[in-house]
Each structure stands twice: as C-alpha cells, then as structure tokens.
Amino acid sequence: MSFEQFLFYFFSAILVGSAVAMITVRNPVHAALFLVLAFFTSAAHWIMLEAEFLGILLVLVYVGAVMVLFLFVVMMLDINVARVREGFVRLLPVGLVVAVGMMVVMAMVVGARVFQVESPGRADADYSNTEAIGQLLYTEYVYPFEIAAVILLVAIIAAIVLTLRRRPDSLYMDPAEQIKVQRKDRVRLIKMEAEKK
Amino acid sequence: MTFEIPDFIPVIPELFLLGMACFILVADLFIPQARRDITYGLTQFSVLGALVLTVWLAAPEVRITMSGTFVADPMSDLLKSVVLLISAVVFLYARPYLMTRDLYRGEFYVLGLFGVLGMMVMISANSLLTLYLGLELLSLCLYALVAFNRDSTQAAESAMKYFVLGSIASGVLLYGMSMLYGITGTLDIAGVTAGILTASGEFNMALVFALAFVVVALAFKLGAVPFHMWLPDVYHGAPTPVTLFISTAPKIAGLAIIMRLLVDGMGPLHADWQGMLLILAVLSLAVGNVVAIAQTNIKRMFAYSTISHVGFVLLAIMAGTTEGNAAALFYVIAYALMAAGGFGMVLYLSRQGFEADNIQDFRGLNERSPWFAFIMLLLMAAMAGLPPTLGFYAKLAVLQAVVQVGFIWVAVFAVLMSVIGAFYYLRIIKFMYFDKPEDRTELSRGMDVNVVLSVNGLLMLGLGIFPGILMSLTAAVR
C-alpha cells in the first residue's frame, strides 16, 4: 500500500466514523462538532484529488462560517434532546435491518469492480485549478450557476418570511432617531414669573 | 479555451420572469400595505408577460443553448405556456383569500414567481444539473409557501413534513443521477441516452440501480403510492391558495421532468422502468380512489384524488409509445385545469374565519348560487371522468394508449377504480343539489374571480365537446 493509499483509507475511516457519530451522539453540540470533523476529512480528500481550491473552500465556508453559525444556533436554542430521541431505540431494529439490507444490495450492484476508472494522471505543478473552475463556472456552467444563485436568494427570502416578526410591544431604540435628536426635543425652557413671597 | 456567447433568445421568458421577480422583491418594500394591489398587478404582469414571450418565441424546431444545459422545443413551449397561464389563474383565485387573512403580502407573490421560474427551468432542462436545480428552486418556494401562515401550527407541521420528505426525495434523485453520471460520464441528457446505449454489459445492474433511485424520487415528487404519505397532510395543512398552487402547475413540471429524464434520457431502459411504473400506477389508482371515499375534508379528498390522477398519468407513460406520451401530457394539462377549478371553488366558498374545507360546506350550494353550483358540477364530472367533459377524454386517451400495448387487464382495473372514485365526486354533487344549506351567507367575489372561475368550469365542458383542440396540441409536441 502506497502512502497515498494509506492516507486515503485513513481519512475515509475518520470520515465515515464521524458521519456515523454525528447522527448517533446524544448531544447536539457534539453532533455539530462531528460534522465539522467530517467536513475536514472530506476537504482532505479534495486536496488529495488535487482540487486544492475546493478543499480550502470547504474548510473556509462550511467549517468556518456555516458550522460556527450552526453551533451558535444549537447553543441558543434549548432543544429537549430526550423528547426528540423518543422512538429511536424502538425503531432502531427496523432501521438497522433496512440499512444493512440496502448496504448489502448496494455493495453487490455498485462495487468498486463496476466503476473502474483510469486515473487522469497528475497535473503540472503550475496548473491552477482555481482558474479552471472559474473559467468553467462563468462560461459553460453559467446557467446552472445562476439558478443556484436564485436558489440561495429564495432561501434568504424564505428564511426572512418565516422568522421576521414585527412586535410593536417590544421596547427598542432607533439609533437614527437618537442621533438626530435636538435640544428642543428633550429640554423645554419655560419662562415664568418669579413667584412672590 | 474557446467559448462562444450562447444564444439568449430562447431563454428570454425565464430572464424576464427572473428580472421581474427581483424587481417586485425590491419594489414591494416601498409599497404600503394599503397599496398591495400594485404588487399583485406587477405579479400578474410578469406572469402574463412571460406567457406572451413564450408564445411569441415558440418555434417548431429544437433549440439547445447555454452550453447544452437549456432546451426549448415544442413540448417546452406548450408546457411553459400552460404553467404560466395556470399560475396567473392561481394568483387570481388566491387574492380574496389572502386579503381576508392578513396574508396579503408581497413575499407570497415573490416566492410564487420564483416557484414558477423553477418550473420553467425544469421544463427546459437539458442536463441533469439544471433539472435538479429547477426542481430544488420550485421545492424550496413551495416549502416556504406551505408555512406561509406562520400563526398556524398545522401549516408549520405540514411544511416540516414536506421539507423533510422532499429533501430525502431530492437526495435520492441526486444519488440516482450521480450513478448515471458515473456510468455515462456526462450530465447532458442526450449524452446519457447515448451512454446507456453504448454501456457494456457489466453496467446493466448499475443502470437499473440508478433507474430505481430516479423512479422512486420522481414518484415521491409526484405523490404516487407508496410514496404518497406526505401529500394528504401537506394539502390539508397548507393554506388553501398554496394547496391550489401545489396541486396544479408543479404537476405539469413534474411530468416534464419525467418526459426529459425517463422517457427521453433513459428511454433505452424502457423495459426496466415499465414494470416499476406499472406497480406505482396500479397502487396509486387503488389507494387514491378507495381512501378518498373515507375523507370528510375536501382538501384531503382532493389530495387522494390527485394520487389517483397521478396513477393515470403514470399508466400513460408506462405504455412507452408516442400515443401514451401525448395522452400523459393531455391528462396532466386537463388535471391541472380541473384542480385549479376545484380548489378555486373551495376558495370561492371560504371567507374570513371560515375555510369551507369540509365536504359538508357544499350542502345546498344550488340554493345559494345556482351558477357556481353548476360550475362545480362540471368540475366534479370532469374529475370523475364523465362524458362529455374534458376528464372523460383524458381518461379515454390514456386507456387507448394502454390497450394498444396490450395491457388490457390494467385498463379494466383503471376503469373499475374510476367507477369507485366517481362515488365521492358524485357525493359532492348530491350535497349541492339535494341538501338544504346550513349556512346562507351571501357569496360574492370580485368580478375577476367570477369570470375566470366560470370560464374555468365551462372549459371542462367546452374542451370536452371539442377535445381535438387540446389533443392536437399535445399530439403535435410528442
């Protein structure tokens, strides 16, 4: 086994292990952290495939931004894990039978012996896959790329529609109003006669 | 690397709709609630504008552009026109309901427009990638629309169910597509067909494996038994205008991706998917028609009726002939028109604080409004497939196609199930004409709804007497 193969199996084992752990651990924070580990090891796979740009993107975007936000949400929400997990043990045997059955069938049908692909060979040292991806993305794949952008826009709209609530009863300050305030809004000078004793 | 600027002309309707949707999104922020009609008007303008552009740019030849990811052919022209027309009708029917329930907001229209855009992308997809992205764009809008009434826990629950099951279906579809990509090495649908034809024998199992995933995912999205569980709950829980939207145009787009992916893309595997579709169709016909009898909620009843109609569409596709494909297109267009009218009537009867989603609410409609009782009669007769309505010819065309390929027992079974199904449509007619109304609130809607709903109902009769008009359109594109 070459060193590269060793690395592949090493990262794959961690990837599969952390993916399984992610759906089985009880604590949602641990689950999110396992997902981070899974993303890291997939990024390692990308880099081994010489797709460095995608690997780094996965770490920056998913691990750096998405998962951190996700962790924030998990920590802020008080999710009753015990109630969510009701029925897990009861349904586990059925789920296991189905999952194992599926895995056996899939291994029989789409094993490695079916998908034998020639290795594309190594790229030159000065080959930039960032440039290659950029060129393809904005030429050949511009139509799917734009649709993906629209999907993200819809996700933003949907998230705001479903969560933004204007509550007139909540107390808040408007900084713009605060800055614009003038003396006459706050202080009232009243001229009055001095009172006689 | 050389790259030619693609031909943008066939994509103009999509570009127009996208531009208008973005414009409405921003413009709506500056429109006060009292002037929300402006948003509505702009929405109708964009849908009808896209319709005009689609019809204007329609051409008899196949135009592939955007580096092979987009195709415009007679089928896409026809289906896009119907989708746009029905969406305009849906927005029209929905307006009074939204206005009386504090749901009359610009986001409803923006999400709706993006959903329509997703359907157009699906109909014109020429690559697995655009097909999937269009489907996701549509689904995402629908999930949000189902949960649009945030104060309803029922709507939130059904949106959650829809979201989780829909995501699983999308995952299954992607898995099947990734297998196809692995075997054929291309995302282009014509390339996939060529790849299947040249794939060596050792790939046979893997191809059927990919096919099974694709069929399961498509059955999920259309709501065919045994992947129908989400459908009644979503129809029931969603606000009625959203149910109206889900049950009409997306079914047409769903058939379009079946045409593109299964019939065209995986055509060489017809022998393999014929059996799968046969099982789905037979089960859908049985469950849809029998379970609908037990429903008291009209939205749930329509959900089961949708399942049985999906069974018919799948039967037509299963035949695998040109006649079968034309029959499926005819059926799905007819179904979308019927469903639009049916839910339009439910919306017509509803008012502030009253949903009219119980079958009993149709009691004595004849005394309250004879004209709209007649319209509902036409719609129900069309759904049941009684001559001389449109529904009869839709079922007839499917049965002809099925008998032609020798599945006589399936045709007999479909007829039997339709007879069982006729019971619950006729029950509504009985309620309308032979029962006394319990609720005599005056029914009045705007002129626009009255006219369009009447035309919608009369189309059932008109297209039923002259089925050749629609039949020739669908036969010409297949």
A67 with A79, same domain: the answer is yes
A94 with A132, same domain: the answer is no
Length of chain B: 478
The pLDDT, as a whole number, for residue B281 is 96
Per-residue confidence band for A84, with pLDDT thresholds at 50, 70 and 90: low
Judge: B137–A147 Cβ closer than 8 Å, yes or no.
Answer: yes
Question: B453 CB contacts (<8 Å, ≥6 apart)?
Answer: B93, B341, B344, B345, B348, B372, B375, B445
Q: Alpha-carbon distance B43 to B23, whole Å?
A: 10
The radius of gyration of chain A's CA atoms, rounded to the nearest angstrom, is 28
- Return the SS3 of A74: helix
Instruction: Give the A window 108-137 contacts with B, CB below 8 Å.
Output: 108-110, 114-115, 135
Which of A32, A93, A38, A109 has its CA nearest to residue A67?
Answer: A32
Judge: B137–A139 Cβ closer than 8 Å, yes or no.
Answer: no
Judge: A150–B18 Cβ closer than 8 Å, yes or no.
Answer: yes
Mean pLDDT value across residues B355-382 = 90
Residue A187 lies in a domain: no
Chain A residue at shortest CA distance from B143 = A158
A49 with A2, same domain: the answer is yes
Residue A82 clears pLDDT 80, i.e. is over it? no
- B66, B111, B205: residue with CB nearest A109: B205
A20 with A51, same domain: the answer is yes
**What is the nearest CA distance from A158 to chain B, expressed in angstroms?**
6
Which of B221, B205, B202, B210 has its CA nearest to residue B181?
Answer: B210
Residue A175 lies in a domain: no
Q: Is the peptide bond before B96 cis (omega within 30 degrees of 0)?
A: no
Helices and strands in chain A: count of H runs, count of E runs? 10, 0
Residue A85 clears pLDDT 70, i.e. is over it? no
* pLDDT tens column, A109-128: 877 777 777 777 788 888 88
Instruction: Give the B window 19-38 contacts with A, CB below 8 Å.
Output: 22, 25
Instruction: Check CB contact of A156 with chain B, cutoff 8 Å.
Output: no
- Sequence-ordered alpha helix ranges (H) in B223-294: 230-237, 240-247, 249-257, 270-292
Query: Is residue B43 a contact partner of residue A175, using CB atoms and an 8 Å limit?
Result: no
B chain contacts of residue A139, beta-carbon cutoff 8 Å = 1, 3, 67
Count of Cβ atoms closer than 10 Å to residue A3 Cβ: 7
Instruction: Check CB contact of B127 with chain A, cutoff 8 Å.
Output: yes
Chosen for mutation from B11, B64, B66 (greatest number of chain A CBs closer than 10 Å) is B66
User: Containing domain of residue A30, as a range?
Assistant: 1-83
Residue A181 lies in a domain: no
Judge: A114–B1 Cβ closer than 8 Å, yes or no.
Answer: no
Instruction: Check CB contact of B140 with chain A, cutoff 8 Å.
Output: yes
Q: Which residues pair with B70 in a beta bridge?
A: B65, B125
Q: Quote the DSSP letter at residue B199.
A: -
A104 with A145, same domain: the answer is no
Tally of domains within chain A: 3
Residue A156, token pair as written in the block: 């933003």
The radius of gyration of chain B's CA atoms, rounded to the nearest angstrom, is 22
Q: Alpha-carbon distance B407 to B267, whole Å?
A: 19
A92 with A148, same domain: the answer is no
Residue B253, token pair as written in the block: 């787009």
A41 with A110, same domain: the answer is no
Which of B37, B177, B54, B66 has its CA nearest to residue B117?
Answer: B54
Judge: B69–A141 Cβ closer than 8 Å, yes or no.
Answer: yes
Judge: A144–B127 Cβ closer than 8 Å, yes or no.
Answer: yes
Chosen for mutation from A131, A152, A154 (greatest number of chain B CBs closer than 10 Å) is A154
User: CATH number of the domain that A42 lies in?
Assistant: 1.20.120.1200
Judge: A144–B107 Cβ closer than 8 Å, yes or no.
Answer: no
Instruction: Check CB contact of A162 with chain B, cutoff 8 Å.
Output: yes
A102 with A145, same domain: the answer is no
The pLDDT, as a whole number, for residue A70 is 87
The pLDDT, as a whole number, for residue A119 is 76
A67 with A33, same domain: the answer is yes
Amino acid at site B177: M
User: CA dihedral in degrees (B147, B152, B158, B164; nearest 10)?
Assistant: 50
User: CA dihedral in degrees (A74, A79, A84, A86; nearest 10)?
Assistant: 130
Residue B245 clears pLDDT 90, i.e. is over it? yes
Which of B316, B251, B312, B319 has its CA nearest to residue B285?
Answer: B312
A79 with A4, same domain: the answer is yes
* pLDDT tens column, B383-430: 999 988 999 999 999 999 999 999 999 999 999 999 999 999 999 999
Residue A192 lies in a domain: no
Residue A182 lies in a domain: no
Residue B436, token pair as written in the block: 């006394």
* DSSP E strand stretches across B328-413: none
- B137, B182, B202: residue with CB nearest A151: B137
Residue B468 clears pLDDT 70, i.e. is over it? yes
Given its phi and psi angles, is residue B67 left (phi above 0), alpha (psi -120 to 50 degrees) or beta? Answer: left
A91 with A67, same domain: the answer is no
Residue A35 lies in a domain: yes
A90 with A74, same domain: the answer is no
Residue A109 lies in a domain: yes
CA angle A137-A142-A146, nearest 5°?
110
Query: Is residue B385 a contact partner of residue B391, using CB atoms and an 8 Å limit?
Result: yes
The pLDDT, as a whole number, for residue B355 is 84
